[in-house]
Amino acid sequence: MCLLVVCLGSPYLVGHKCIPPVPGLDNGPNIVTAKTLNDHLNWRYATKKMDASKTVPQDKVNAIIEAVRLAPTSSGTQPFELIVVTNPEIRAQISEAAMGQAQITDGSHLLVFAAWDTYTEDRIDAVTQLNVAARGDLPLIHGYYDNLKANYLPREAEVNYAHAARQAYIALGIALVAAAEQEVDSTPMEGFSSDAVDSILGLRERGLRSVVLMPLGYREEAGDWLLPMPKVRKSRESMVTEVA
């Protein structure tokens, strides 16, 4: 690696951001190796204890939300919504529905990925219109989404929901990277009652079902039993087969 990141005009590099001079700190040159995706993946971990006194700044939350918005999905349907919960009472209720997992309340933001409960004509038509608005009123677009409707609309809602939920997991993976890039800690969580969370947030009425939670915050280093433990991953040999 020969990559360097240099701050011009501001002396400190924190993560990928340059910050103004800090009194009392050495203002020497700031040249560090740029972080790669795999650096971010190695840095992140499923934070077990968040520092309740810290709040993730809005610009970092925005960058994470933007990554979710840009995440690719099947046929560009983006068949999920993102609920960003900061309200402490609502987060307390959701924490109760998630076996009391305290990252939900100790973090400052909770992302709830909520998938469409099914594909509907209106939903796919709205995607079609978005495509037409951006790319022109092309027969190709109409043909593509007419075909999609012919395939999706007759299917059972549960099949469509399962498909939509998978797309939310693409965005979850990307959001976990986005948080790491922002040096924000996060915890992907499946251990919760989706019925309860749907009820707390009024999701079913909107045709949505909660799929996975992702609290955002900052690790409390002294209180997090997982932090000092090494990351555990299978070897490449044990999970990758090459067919050459």
Burial 151-168 (b: 16+ CB within 10 A, else e): ebeeeeeeebbebbbebb
Residue from 190, 200, 199 nearest 93 by CA: 200
Sole window of 48-56, 62-70, 95-103, 215-223 interacting with a second copy (rule: CB under 8 A):
62-70
Query: Counting contacts by CB under 8 A, is residue 184 touching a second copy?
Result: no
Query: Counting contacts by CB under 8 A, is residue 16 touching a second copy?
Result: yes
Using CB under 8 A as the criterion, what x/- string covers residues 93-132 for binding a second copy? Answer: -------------------------------------xx-
Query: Counting contacts by CB under 8 A, is residue 14 touching a second copy?
Result: no
Q: Shortest distance, CB of residue 71 to a second copy, whole angstroms?
A: 6
Residues between 71 and 90 with contacts to a second copy, criterion CB under 8 A: 71-72, 74, 76, 78, 80-87, 90
CA 185, CA 129: separation in Å to the nearest integer? 37
Position 42: which residue type? N
Return the residue of 23, 29, 139, 230 that touches a second copy, per CB under 8 A: 230
Whole-angstrom CA distances from 18 to 14, 39, 148 are 6, 19, 46
Distance from chain centroid for Cα 109 = 12
Query: Counting contacts by CB under 8 A, is residue 165 touching a second copy?
Result: yes
Angle, nearest 10°, between helix axes 139-152 and 121-135?
160
Return the residue of 92, 125, 162, 223 that touches a second copy, per CB under 8 A: 162
**How many CB atoms within 10 Å of residue 107?**
28
Query: Counting contacts by CB under 8 A, is residue 171 touching a second copy?
Result: yes
> Sign of the CA dihedral 241, 164, 89, 185?
positive
Q: Shortest distance, CB of residue 3 to a second copy, whole angstroms?
A: 6
Q: Shortest distance, CB of residue 220 to a second copy, whole angstroms?
A: 19
